[in-house]
Structure 1
Amino acid sequence: MNDIATPPQATLLLVDDEENVLNSLRRLLRGSPYQVLTASGGEAALELLERQHVDLIVSDARMPGMNGAVLLAQVQKRWPECMRIMLTGYADLGTTIAAINEGQIYRYISKPWDDEELRLSIRQALAFQFSERERKRLEQLTREQNERLLEFNATLEQRVRDRTAELQQTADMLDLAYAELRHGYVTATEVFANLVNRRVSKERQTNTQVIALVRAYAELHQLGGAEADDMAMAAALYNIGKLTWDDQLLGRPADLLYRDERARYQQYPALGESLLMALEPIKDAGRLILHHQERWNGTGFPDKLKGEAIPFGSRLLKLAVDFIELQRGMILDRRLGRVEAMQLIEKYAGRIYDPQLCKDFLQMCREHAPDLALDDPDVIPLDIRRLEPGMILARNLHADNGMLLLNEGKQLTRPLIDKLAAFEATEEAHYTLFVRKPEQPDEVEVGTR
């Protein structure tokens, strides 16, 4: 594939005792974004590797003196990160087995080789190397974050012990310490979520809105304590598994992914959970992240869980993520309006989403959190004095006592605006209405997946 991610200016070393073979390989790689070095034998290759960093070595199997299997075994031992490919023109099972076992080669290719197969093998080997380096970098970053959190934990515990000694209220102070520790981890995860936000443009940053939706639902349904904290941390870090993606994959809607990209896309929940395994307080949040792409009918990923076998927090996170990402153009090849996104989610209740949870979630979005995830540039908040005839109401309007005054989609007229002004004066209240400008279309037909 042309979109395989490889590090720029990778350095390749070609090793063969036949000059015409080296010339053929150089011609094959002409125009490729690699620095190409050559060596006429194993000893010369090792001397060159002592002096210069090499990302990938392609060696012939049969060479006088040091053969390819011995050379690649030395490379694996001394420079294990250097990828290794062996070319063989003989049906030499022993040499091939030795190269695989001792040299741990990435791939072997028979001579005469197929040009496109060799190019693809080199690109894939470098892409694998690049992804491994990224994985190790992220693991190191996770370890560093863990150490910082442990240092914070030690400091917090010391403060708890000092205060306990002063106030002689050991039990109360231990409860306070636990609550502060949980809050510290929740805050830390929201800061950690900025790692993903730095990789994408502002209009595709989703974590803040997903957190707000999950917290609003937890507050409305009185979900507190560790359960609410785990859901908030999962909302903050649900897409951390996408950190290893290239910019092209990050910017493509989920429904337009190619087959290999879709396979990588389906790995991001599991990768996110694995990145958090070292942090004990986030373990349960990691489990919610692992299963937030499961579907109610069992067709999701990674484990095809079905119905209530899917953790409740994962089901809620799926609703919040899809609601925001539909509006950001990250699922379909267009951005949906808020109402349109709600209609599409409602359509798939019982298939993708928990039907009862979907009903409660959408009711919350309509009635209790109308300004959450406001992401439609055509919708503006106005007080009654600034309303104009022809504007379309984009949110339900409720009185202070909860009574529904106007439905979403209502077109405002001058008499209606005057009635609203009179009602506001009578109630001694102040109302803000979310409206669409007169020149904007009212609604668009919901698309299909």
Structure 2
Amino acid sequence: MIAAESEHSVPVTATLLLVDDEAHVLASLTRLFEDDGEFQIIAKTSAVDALSLLKQTPVDLIISDMRMPEMDGATFLHQASQLWPQTPRVLLTGYADIESTIRAVNEGGIARYVAKPWDDERLLQTVNELLEVKRLREQNARLLHIKEQQRAELQRLTENQESIIQRRTAELEQTASQLEVAYQELHDAYFQSIPLLSHLVEMNERFKKNHSNRVASIARLIAESMELDKAQVRQIFIGALLHDIGKIALEQTIRAKPVDKMSALESKRYRQHPMLGESALLSFDPLREAAQIVRSHHERFDGKGFPDRLSGEGIPLGARIVALANDYDNLLLPNNFLGKALVELQAHEFVINESCKRYDPQVVRAFDQVIDEVHRLLANDKETTLPLAKVEPGMILSQDLINQHGMVMLVAGRKLSEAHIKKLKQFEEAFNSRLMVSVKQTTG
């Protein structure tokens, strides 16, 4: 027999709090659970004392009698649930205590109630089941806590990784933006140099001043008449401006000689200039289409051209357009492939007659539709040469302005401003020279 109030410390897996005002009942319960060997027992004969203990010490399970003098079991278990809501609570009650039992269920949140007298095996089974449920709940809570910690850590790592990715992305975007700006600057600088390159070709060809500009303008009129998109029109215009760029690599004696006066060897060398021009442009991706135009602008629709003897639609459309524009302007100049200059009506008739032979009939029809605009274009291309003192803002250079040292000061096509004229006058004063400026004549 144990004392009315006792605390036992033995190696156990769970601590039970037993509360009953009858010492012999406590002794029976204590003996039952001690004999099982799995429990540490705390026995209290007073519900008030039991609550004082619970305020300081948690337990794994509470078994309480219903009828006690200072505080009944329902009230005690209700207050115990406020302190340790997860601790299972078992009520011992007699058959006459049904109403009190219901109150204990509602207020005390008891897990089970056991009728007196109890069956030892059933009571042990009940306690073990409740402790197993408690253990599983605690294990689940621990796992949930670990999971939440892992989730929080993963979120922290993810946010950190996202921050790193965002920072790296921002750095890459900044680098890409800088590269894009640099590329655009290179792109703009390259395209700004195209007119200068086309004029370099014509510097030593007395009869071909502004030829490339005229060919480019005629080609653009034809391309627009054929309703090609803006990107195609731009490439055709550039290809036309640079169609003779390969001639820079030719000997001056060949460049200065009319085609019909060349020897067989000179003619063979001359026919290489489209390929030389293409190779000069292929290194810059935005000019690849223009490079194809440069290579093929001497091909004929009937396959008798050079350098590849392409025919029909096997010739790039841009090259077919530039071929016609180039020949038409050449026909109006001395030393052309016919050996004599034609007037505009004769040149127009030549183009019409060569449809399906030299020229694509589709391109010929488009050219015929814009012939009046071509005539106006060529009329506006006529020039006059003035001393600098008579040059006015708004005039357009018809030829490159070259000083006595052979340096190009301004390229043809430049619209002169007051600032340009002021700089040129300062140059005259500084070098005691007089500049003669070729400008386009205005009509009307």
**Same fold, TM-score > 0.5, yes or no:** no
Under TM normalisation by the shorter chain, which class is it? 0.3 to 0.5
The structure number with the bigger radius of gyration is: 2
TM-score by length of structure 1 reads: 0.42
The structure in which a higher percent of residues are helix is 2
TM-score normalised by L of structure 2: 0.43
